[in-house]
Structure 1
Amino acid sequence: MSVKNKVVIVTGASRGIGKVIAQSFSKEGANLVLVGRSKEAVEKVEVELKEENPNVISIIADVTNEEQVKHMAEKTIEVFGKIDVLVNNAGTAGPTTSVKDLAVEDFRAVLDDNLTSTFLCIKAVVPNMMENQSGRIINLSSVSGKRALPYRVGYCAAKMGVIGLTRTLAAELGEHNITVNAICPGFVEGERIDSVISNQGKVRGLDKEEVERELKSSSPLKRFVKPEEIAKTAVFLSTDAAIGITGEDVNVSSGVVMY
């Protein structure tokens, strides 16, 4: 049930959930490819992880750019010889605003950052996985991909799309021993939830403390999810223990969503 020596690509690996996911795979001995837009940020994580795992490289890529994504896959194969696991973590929350005030270009940008990027990365790695008749693809969706969240129309639409993409490709790629699953985090500790709380407060005329209490109270566990809980789920879905799991959208939400 190990991911030791598996070749794992993690997008959006320079900070937040992506960084924690990368750390978890590194601790398990994976051959790790860190992908991010910021050269300085992603190389800093590479240096940190190499202290315990020499088999880590970083690739600078904008995952909404098809040519850069192709280079990501080609470089991974050049260095490690194959691609076993792809974790599509990169994405942005986008604006928190009423639909009447949401600019079309901002809506499209959120779709590109969260949904188109996921498609492009899968498209780039699948030929190698099909050749090897083996692969694990894990897409980061959200509980917002299952339920409506006011003032987040672009984000919800994109994350719902990620779930649809996951299910469709699970059906398409299963005959090649490639599993495709999504993880749906709830409200996760970190910079992003702080921004969500602040923006929701502004839009709704509430103070931050009130918004935070409301969000936590919506969970049976009365707390936010820890990034490490997302990471452990991603690692599990990459092991042989999860070979029979595909087309699923796995909630890691402290019970905010139970379907």
Structure 2
Amino acid sequence: MTSRVLITAGASGVGRAMAEAFDAAGAQVWVADIDVDALVECPSDWKQSLLDVSDETAVSSTFKEVEAAWGGLDVLCANAGVAGPTAAVEDVPLTDWRSCLSVNLEGAFLCSKYAAPIMKRQRSGAILITSSTAGQYGYPNRAPYAAAKWGMVGLGKTLAMELGPHGIRCNVICPGSVEGPRMEGVLQREAVAKGMTRDQVYNGYASGTSMGRFVEGRDIANMAVFLASDAARLVSGQVIAVDGHTVNPDPKL
């Protein structure tokens, strides 16, 4: 793979796994992240930008920098996201609602907005949006996050229709519960909200899948590399869960 790949939130977690997988596949990698310390830890041969995806000026500047350096862009992984609050809907402050949608949904929109003209000029490209299984099911006590992730599914399907005539594909990846620090925070907050222990919540999520386990960043990364490749050249407008098959998104123990 000789693709030029930009990954938002690419310096850690799922994004870092994506960057490593694309790098291993022979792609040129550019990671954009808001975490300075995580960027410092990235390999020196990866290009990088400090980026807040909710800041349109910063997003525009980053894509101009990418096009100037590379002359184009083959793959955008719109992967940046935040977990948002865990609370009953009546207890969610409007500021928290807006912050969650701004990073998740608006961030994916802004990155797609500025990637599209670059890809249109070359009449090729692939946009991969990282949503969540929360974009396929209702998730109690996670209203802002679920709303944002459902919106990202709609955005991805619309982009596939709008950009397909220009040779650009768009697909949405919906991870399930991913092992790592971000999910750990969700588990702790949900345990408090439900009056359960952290392990009870963890086991509840795992038992809500037919395979009985959480997924890992590499599972998401492998799907991203496939969807960006020529092997998926006619795969577009799809919403693909990588979740161990969710059968009950809110199991009660």
1:41 equivalenced with 2:38 (yes/no): yes
**Equivalence for 2:111:** 121
Distance 1:171 1:43 in 2: 38
Unaligned runs of 5+ in 2: 249-253
Q: Is the 8 A contact 1:17 1:227 kept in 2?
A: yes
Structure 1 residue aligned with 2:11, among 9, 14, 28? 14
Distance 1:251 1:88 in 2: 16
**Equivalence for 2:233:** 243
Secondary structure, in 3 states, of the residue corresponding to 2:170? strand
**Equivalence for 2:251:** none
Q: Within 5 Å, give how 1:59-70 maps onto structure 2.
A: 59-70=49-60
Letter in 2 for 1:244: L
**Equivalence for 1:92:** 82
- 1:46 CA drift (Å): 3.5
**Equivalence for 1:191:** 181
Q: Within 5 Å, give how 1:180-219 maps onto structure 2.
A: 180-219=170-209
Q: Is the 8 A contact 2:32 2:51 kept in 1?
A: yes
Count of aligned pairs between the two proteins: 248
Letter in 2 for 1:239: S
**Equivalence for 2:25:** 28
Q: Is the 8 A contact 1:225 1:253 kept in 2?
A: yes
Secondary structure, in 3 states, of the residue corresponding to 1:203? helix
Letter in 2 for 1:251: A
1:220 equivalenced with 2:217 (yes/no): no
Query: Runs ≥4 in structure 1, deviation > 2 angstroms?
Result: none
Letter in 2 for 1:64: S
Q: Is the 8 A contact 1:36 1:60 kept in 2?
A: yes
Structure 2 residue aligned with 1:109, among 81, 99, 119? 99
Distance 1:46 1:175 in 2: 36
**Identity in percent:** 35
Distance 1:257 1:235 in 2: 26
Residue deviations 1:61-95 (CA, integer Å, cap 9, x gap) = 11111111111111111111110000001010011
Distance 1:257 1:32 in 2: 35
Distance 1:208 1:91 in 2: 22
1:81 equivalenced with 2:78 (yes/no): no
Distance 1:173 1:88 in 2: 16
Q: Is the 8 A contact 2:208 2:247 kept in 1?
A: no
Letter in 2 for 1:11: T
**Equivalence for 1:166:** 156
Secondary structure, in 3 states, of the residue corresponding to 2:41? helix
Distance 1:212 1:122 in 2: 34
Distance 2:106 2:173 in 1: 17
Q: 1:178 to 1:196 in 2, by over 3 A?
A: same
**Equivalence for 1:132:** 122
- 1:257 CA drift (Å): 5.4
Distance 2:247 2:215 in 1: 12
- 1:5 CA drift (Å): 2.0
Q: TM-score, normalized by length of structure 1?
A: 0.93
Distance 2:120 2:40 in 1: 30
Unaligned runs of 5+ in 1: 51-55
Residue deviations 1:23-51 (CA, integer Å, cap 9, x gap) = 1111111111110112332132143xx3x
Distance 1:253 1:166 in 2: 19
